[in-house]
């Protein structure tokens, strides 16, 4: 490491590779060379869960956090940033602050904040024009937009955004998103048919991997099906407002699914039709959060569509003898690794880890 290496340069390297430990540990060495206790703190944060001495490391880590995190956060707060509330572990992630909230005039300090900490997760309200012009936005991976989102969506620097959420998703916001450079893999917003059509008519959904947290209906799915959705791997249906018509609109794209959440009563006819849309067996995770009808759940679990499922949740369903038999048949296929059931459910499956509750 060059003697002239600056803290801001180290932070920038972490922003470029936010999932890697390497740049964080390089920064930890830099800190340790300067007798800064945060060096040890970063090493411990990256080490968590990797060895038999977790309890000892955890106590040391907690002591460092209690002694220093407030001081380490102070420069960010002085620039107007709001950190996540709650336990300190929610503010610092693997040794660094990655997530801040900025409102109004404080958004002008974003570049300064990124020189202090590797910020890649940003929640913004009333963004300034100066923020939209900042190249530092290129490393933002998660972006939440509250008031006046159109001001920031006009930025040419938002090319790295993977997760995008909105507080209020109006028709005008949908149009601004469609005209932006953002191509998220995950999108959280309220959608109606008109807004879905605006997005589908552009290429803003070109990289979309998750249709999640939407109140999806048949009409919205039909509208969204106007987009290629070639990368779709996760679908969450949280209300019984999707019928065979909605499934048929997605067509072969359903067979791409790796994860499916269905939080509505699952009757036999719908389950059977759903299973026919998943012939390849790509599905690995299935969450039936409100199964209600045994025959629908059993029909789906017995179908070839579920032959490779590794993680299964059956919500608050009572595990009847018939459902238990279906679970044993699924486990016998040899792929199921984890089963989540309601607390207090007496259940054991050979080779399967049973988890109770959320």
Q: Residue 246 is encoded by which pair of tokens?
A: 């909605």
Average pLDDT for runs of 10 along the chain of length 358: 77 96 97 97 82 71 92 94 61 93 96 97 96 97 95 97 93 96 93 94 94 82 93 85 90 94 86 94 90 81 95 80 91 92 82 84
Whether 337 contacts 311, CB under 8 Å: yes
pLDDT of 50 reads 53
Tell me how far apart the alpha carbons of residues 129 and 126 are, in angstroms, rounded to a whole number: 10
Strand pairing report for 99-103 and 82-83? antiparallel
pLDDT of 287 reads 92
**Closest C-alpha among 126, 200, 121 to residue 163:** 121
pLDDT of 213 reads 65
pLDDT of 344 reads 75
Domain range annotation of the chain = 7-75
**Closest C-alpha among 219, 165, 225 to residue 189:** 165
Give this prediction's pTM. Answer: 0.86
pLDDT of 88 reads 40
Tell me how far apart the alpha carbons of residues 307 and 318 are, in angstroms, rounded to a whole number: 23
pLDDT of 53 reads 56
Element containing residue 192 per DSSP (H, E): none
pLDDT of 87 reads 43
According to the 3-state scheme, what is the secondary structure of 114-167?
Answer: HHHCCCCEEEEECCCHHHHCCHHHHHCCEEEECCCCHHHHCCCCCCCCCEEEEC
Tell me how far apart the alpha carbons of residues 224 and 247 are, in angstroms, rounded to a whole number: 12
């Amino acid at each position: 490491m060059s003697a002239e290496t600056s803290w801001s340069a180290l932070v920038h390297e972490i922003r470029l590779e936010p999932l890697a430990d390497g740049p964080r540990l390089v920064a930890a060495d830099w800190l340790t060379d300067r007798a800064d206790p945060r060096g040890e703190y970063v090493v411990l944060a990256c080490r968590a869960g990797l060895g038999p001495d977790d309890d000892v490391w955890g106590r040391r880590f907690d002591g460092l956090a209690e002694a220093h995190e407030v001081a380490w956060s102070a420069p960010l707060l002085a620039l107007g940033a709001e950190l996540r509330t709650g336990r300190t572990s929610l503010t610092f992630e693997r040794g660094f602050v990655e997530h801040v909230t900025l409102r109004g005039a404080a958004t002008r300090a974003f570049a300064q904040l990124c020189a202090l900490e590797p910020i890649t997760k940003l929640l913004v309200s009333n963004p300034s024009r100066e923020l939209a012009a900042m190249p530092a936005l290129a490393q933002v991976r998660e972006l939440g937009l509250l008031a006046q989102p159109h001001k920031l969506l006009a930025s040419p620097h938002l090319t790295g955004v993977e997760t995008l959420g909105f507080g209020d998703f109006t028709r005008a916001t949908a149009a601004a998103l469609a005209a932006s450079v953002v191509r998220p893999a995950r999108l959280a917003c309220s959608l109606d048919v008109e807004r879905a059509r605006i997005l589908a008519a552009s290429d803003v959904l070109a990289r979309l991997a998750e249709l999640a947290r939407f109140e999806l209906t048949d009409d919205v799915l039909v509208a969204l099906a106007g987009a290629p959705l070639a990368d779709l791997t996760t679908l969450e249906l949280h209300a019984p407002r999707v019928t065979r018509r909605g499934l048929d609109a997605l067509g072969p794209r359903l067979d791409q699914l790796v994860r499916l959440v269905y939080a509505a009563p699952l009757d036999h006819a719908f389950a059977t039709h759903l299973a026919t849309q998943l012939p390849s067996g790509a599905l690995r995770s299935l969450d039936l959060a409100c199964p209600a009808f045994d025959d629908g759940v059993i029909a789906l679990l017995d179908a070839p569509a579920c032959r490779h499922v590794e993680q299964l949740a059956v919500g608050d369903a009572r595990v009847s003898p018939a459902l238990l038999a279906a679970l044993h048949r699924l486990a016998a296929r040899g792929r199921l690794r984890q089963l989540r059931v309601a607390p207090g459910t007496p259940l054991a499956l050979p080779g399967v880890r049973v988890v109770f509750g959320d």
